[in-house]
Amino acid sequence: MKKSPLIARLARKFDQEVGYARTLRKEVVRKIFPDHWTFLFGEIALYSFVILVVTGIFLSLLFSPGSEPVIYHGSYAPLDGVPMSQAYRSLLHISFDVRGGLLLRQIHHWAADLFVAAIVLHIVRLFFTGAYRAPRQTNWLIGVTLLILAVTNGFFGYSIGGDLLSGTGLRIAYAVVLSCPLIGPWLAFLVFGGPPPNPMLLPRIYSLHIFLVPAVIALFLTLHLGILWRQKHTNYPGPRRNDSTIVGSRLWPNYAIKSIAMFLFVSAVLVALGAFAQINPVWIFGPYFGPAVSAGSQPDWYLGWAEGAVRLLPRLNIHIFGHQIPQPFYAGFLLSIIAFAWLYFWPAIGARLLRDKGTHHVLYLPREHPWLCALGMAVLAFFFVLLLGGGDDVIAVLFNSRVLHVRYLFRILLVALPVAAAAATYGFLRLRGGK
């Protein structure tokens, strides 16, 4: 008799210890995955996270987050003799003296941007096709939580470098937290350890960035995938597709090969971006120095909407019982809370608008619900204008116009574009045969 390969013998041995053959065959090997390109966004997010962890471990072994002042004498000549934080010096060290260091730093940064982008696209897909409906409400909530965690950790990563740009970002984030009514000062001091810059700040954020937040992301990601596995994917409407069937290709071997290829493609794109597309060139910004700042300070794209809100929303001199409500509170803090609360409550709101609380495993097409899609497009347009507004100074320079004029234009767009987007979406979907 032909001897079975080593891996099969080891697997059989382990099966004798725990007995998994039946489950593995039914839940993994024969598992059916629907094929549709819009189902890939979640997968891209997952693989971006894997790349983030791999590159992040490498970077964490080289980076030191200290705030202690040092004088730079490294291989980057333009900053020779310049006082800076230990964190910024170690960032320069990784970028210029560690072989592959800059590559991994840039892959890490691109992966963070792609991670959030893929999550956003994933949520947009779920919104426009009704995948938030029963029985997937809980998994939607976990997904929104993952979005918040991804944005938070992206900001933390951007902040720990000790460069002028990230130091400016921390000052603004501190101002937003500080503006919170009643608890603001205590909350800001709890998070930031006092007004930035202070010696506690970078080590504290570093610890959150490399340990606490990734651990929580991993936990929720596991839950998210566990629930997905149990519930199986949704299907787009089509022949033989109803609430008691699932149509697609089997995990083994078709979907496994496709998914591995997908992972390789995502990695290839991120590595290519890391190799050829410069991102966050901290040596150009220089070290953080409190009284200094540069024009055109922008956050990563996924916080551009918050930056835009702090710029575009009007200044209202609000006082309540003799207390001040600063603009960063309603423009930054409150708007974020409303945005995410809206997302958290969407499964309940959607069910009410659809007048349908039933269980669905078959998605709807956008044209079946033009009103809901119009609403979704209006919200997207609103945040898109805020995102552009976050760069109003850069846009003003680009078009050789005054910042204030650009700002007034964006303020008009902030109202006009959502209305126009909603109307256009509704009209377009009705034309395409909606009800």
By CB under 8 A, the residues from 317 to 376 that bind another protein are: 317, 319, 322-324, 326-328, 331, 361
188 binds another protein, rule: CB under 8 A: yes
282 binds another protein, rule: CB under 8 A: no
Q: Between residues 16 and 244, which has the closer beta carbon with respect to another protein?
A: 244
- Quote the least distance from Cβ 99 to another protein, whole Å: 5
Q: Which two tokens stand for residue 148?
A: 């918040």
398 binds another protein, rule: CB under 8 A: no
CB atoms within 10 A of CB 346: 20
292 binds another protein, rule: CB under 8 A: yes
Give the binding-site size for another protein (rule: CB under 8 A). Answer: 92
Classified as helix, coil or strand, 69 is strand
In sign, the C-alpha dihedral spanning 344, 346, 348, 349 is: positive
- Quote the least distance from Cβ 180 to another protein, whole Å: 8
Gap between the Cα atoms of 91 and 95, Å rounded: 6
179 binds another protein, rule: CB under 8 A: yes
- Quote the least distance from Cβ 254 to another protein, whole Å: 6
In the list 297, 300, 382, 410, the residue contacting another protein (rule: CB under 8 A) is 297
Compute the C-alpha angle 336/51/145, nearest 5°: 25
Could you tell me which of 291, 314, 35, 258 has the C-alpha nearest to residue 168? 291
- Quote the least distance from Cβ 145 to another protein, whole Å: 22
Compute the C-alpha angle 75/76/80, nearest 5°: 95
Gap between the Cα atoms of 271 and 55, Å rounded: 11
Gap between the Cα atoms of 45 and 258, Å rounded: 16
Backbone angles phi, psi at 319, to 5 degrees: -130, 130
- Quote the least distance from Cβ 347 to another protein, whole Å: 16
Q: Between residues 10 and 268, which has the closer beta carbon with respect to another protein?
A: 268
Burial code (b: 16+ CB inside 10 Å, e: under 16) for 20-36 equals eeeeeeeeeeebebbee
Q: Between residues 13 and 315, which has the closer beta carbon with respect to another protein?
A: 315
Q: Which of residues 260-279 bind another protein (CB under 8 A)?
A: 260-265, 267-269, 271-272, 274-276
**CB neighbours of 152 closer than 8 A, spacing ≥ 6?**
213
In the list 24, 28, 135, 432, the residue contacting another protein (rule: CB under 8 A) is 135
In the list 76, 189, 220, 371, the residue contacting another protein (rule: CB under 8 A) is 189
- Quote the least distance from Cβ 184 to another protein, whole Å: 5
Gap between the Cα atoms of 124 and 122, Å rounded: 5
- Quote the least distance from Cβ 46 to another protein, whole Å: 16
Helix axes 101-129, 256-276, angle to 10 degrees: 130
In the list 55, 153, 166, 168, the residue contacting another protein (rule: CB under 8 A) is 168
Gap between the Cα atoms of 412 and 263, Å rounded: 42
Amino acid at 328: P
Q: Which of residues 38-97 bind another protein (CB under 8 A)?
A: none
Query: Interface with another protein by CB under 8 A: which range of 12-20, 37-45, 170-178, 372-380?
Result: 170-178
Q: Between residues 30 and 352, which has the closer beta carbon with respect to another protein?
A: 30
Q: Between residues 4 and 245, which has the closer beta carbon with respect to another protein?
A: 245
- Quote the least distance from Cβ 54 to another protein, whole Å: 12
Element (H, E) at 323: strand 323-325
- Quote the least distance from Cβ 239 to another protein, whole Å: 10
In the list 3, 13, 99, 435, the residue contacting another protein (rule: CB under 8 A) is 99
